[in-house]
């Protein structure tokens, strides 16, 4: 970040030329990446857009393709899927015109798959995921892992649990040789959830216990909240409402929790209250879940 700022300051004082614009473009690109990593999403977008304008007048116009992809990625982080699709398609158009699509096909197709999934355009999402999968063999470990994990999530949120199941072991197998404990635990948490949905309780317990032990050791509260929800669901399915209640009470703070995790908890709470004959509370959660679903559906329709 410090070096990128120095690059920008130095180049801003120089007479503008294609080589200077290229350096200045790189500086803003680095700042965009830094702000994206720090979750300063709006600042990241500003940096990328400055870099895009400079790339038009640089000595390396191919830079703009990478910048379009980076900008689209950030809009996906922001859940602005409409803008995300726009920039991925700009990247695809420019890479086609420059005859360099081979270099960028995977991130563009994978990004489009993610963005269309965000607005529940499942057919288009599946189409681009399949296009990206053709390029998967020669990608980096990080890209392979992210693809496999997100492909599993695609089927999970569609409710196709048997189709989701193979993707998480694939992702897990990629990172086990490298000892990436966080990523292994992430996959095991997802596997535990899938096995719970499929009523394979022994496997669900095994993977959930492994995942919980790791995230508890690093006190990663957002994922502990999610795992508590799945463990409570598992307890309810096994006729153990008191154990489900313990999980719910132990992790109930929603500050900083992903809305998708909160939605999963609310649906669990509806079932829990019904099981313990708290029918008024169950009805309250039902109304709340309907309101959330209506809001999500409205946003998706608007996005389409």
The model's pLDDT over 170-192, given as tens digits with 9 standing for 90+, comes to 999 999 999 999 999 999 999 99
In this prediction, residues 116-139 reach a mean pLDDT of 93
pTM, rounded to two decimals: 0.85
Q: Please tell me the predicted confidence (pLDDT) of residue 286.
A: 86
**Which two structure tokens, joined as six digits, stand for 204?**
């669900």
Q: Is the pLDDT of residue 2 over 90?
A: no
Q: Where is average pLDDT lowest: 64-78, 83-97, 245-259, 285-299?
A: 285-299
Q: Confidence class of residue 107 from pLDDT cuts 50, 70 and 90?
A: very high
Q: Confidence class of residue 75 from pLDDT cuts 50, 70 and 90?
A: very high
Q: Which of 98-107, 218-227, 289-298 has the highest mean pLDDT?
A: 218-227
Q: Is the pLDDT of residue 136 over 90?
A: yes
Q: Who wins on pLDDT, 109 or 290? A: 109
Q: Is the pLDDT of residue 101 over 90?
A: no
Q: Where is average pLDDT lowest: 110-114, 236-240, 278-282?
A: 278-282
Residues present in the chain in total: 304
> Is the four-CA dihedral 219, 198, 174, 155 of positive or negative sign?
negative
Q: Is the pLDDT of residue 137 over 70?
A: yes
The HSE-up count of residue 141 (CA atoms within 13 Å, CB side) is 10
Query: Distance (Å, rounded) from C-alpha 207 to C-alpha 254?
Result: 24
Q: Who wins on pLDDT, 109 or 27? A: 109
Q: Please tell me the predicted confidence (pLDDT) of residue 79.
A: 85
pLDDT (tens digit per residue) in 200-250: 999 999 999 999 999 999 999 999 999 999 999 999 999 999 999 999 999
Q: Confidence class of residue 15 from pLDDT cuts 50, 70 and 90?
A: low
Query: Distance (Å, rounded) from C-alpha 247 to C-alpha 252?
Result: 9
Which value, in Å, is the radius of gyration of the alpha carbons in the chain? 22
Q: Please tell me the predicted confidence (pLDDT) of residue 9.
A: 73
In this prediction, residues 289-297 reach a mean pLDDT of 74
Query: Distance (Å, rounded) from C-alpha 165 to C-alpha 259?
Result: 23
SS (H, E, C) the chain: CHHHHHHHHHHHHCCCCHHHHHHHHHHHHHHHHHHHHCCCHHHHHHHHHHHHHHHCCCCCCCHHHHHHHHHHHHHHHCCCHHHHHHHHHHHHHHHHHCCCHHHHHHHHHHHHHHHHHHCCCHHHHHHHHHHHHCCHHHCCHHHHHHHHHHHHHHHHHHCCHHHHCCHHHHHHHHHHHHCCHHHHHHHHHHHHHHHHHCCCHHHHHHHHHHHHHHHHHCCCHHHHHHHHHHHHHHHHHCCCHHHHHHHHHHCCCCCCCCHHHHHHHHHHHHHHHHHCCCHHHHHHHHHHHHHHHHHHHHHHHHHC
């Amino acid at each position: 970040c410090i070096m990128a700022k120095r690059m920008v300051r130095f180049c801003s004082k120089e007479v503008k030329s294609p080589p200077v614009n290229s350096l200045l473009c790189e500086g803003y690109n680095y700042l965009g990446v830094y702000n994206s990593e720090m979750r300063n999403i709006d600042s990241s977008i500003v940096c990328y857009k400055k870099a895009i304008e400079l790339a038009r007048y640089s000595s390396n116009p191919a830079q703009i393709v990478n910048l379009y992809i980076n900008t689209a990625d950030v809009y996906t982080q922001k859940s602005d899927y409409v803008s995300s699709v726009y920039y991925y398609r700009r990247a695809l158009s420019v890479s086609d015109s420059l005859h360099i699509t081979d270099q960028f096909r995977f991130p563009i197709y994978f990004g489009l798959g993610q963005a269309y999934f965000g607005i529940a355009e499942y057919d288009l999402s599946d189409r681009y995921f399949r296009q990206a999968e053709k390029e998967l063999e020669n990608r980096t470990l990080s890209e392979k892992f992210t693809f496999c994990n997100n492909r599993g999530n695609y089927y999970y949120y569609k409710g196709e649990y048997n189709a989701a199941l193979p993707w998480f072991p694939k992702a897990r197998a990629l990172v086990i040789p490298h000892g990436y404990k966080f990523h292994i635990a992430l996959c095991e948490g997802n596997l535990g959830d899938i096995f719970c949905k499929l009523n394979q309780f022994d496997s669900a317990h095994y993977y959930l216990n492994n995942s919980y032990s790791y995230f508890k050791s690093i006190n990663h509260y957002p994922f502990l909240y999610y795992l508590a929800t799945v463990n409570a669901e598992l307890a309810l399915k096994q006729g153990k409402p008191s154990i489900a209640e313990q999980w719910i009470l132990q992790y109930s703070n929603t500050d900083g929790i992903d809305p998708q995790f909160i939605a999963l908890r609310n649906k669990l709470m509806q079932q829990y209250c019904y099981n313990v004959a708290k029918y008024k509370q169950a009805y309250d959660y039902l109304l709340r879940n309907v309101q959330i679903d209506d809001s999500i559906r409205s946003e998706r329709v608007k996005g389409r």
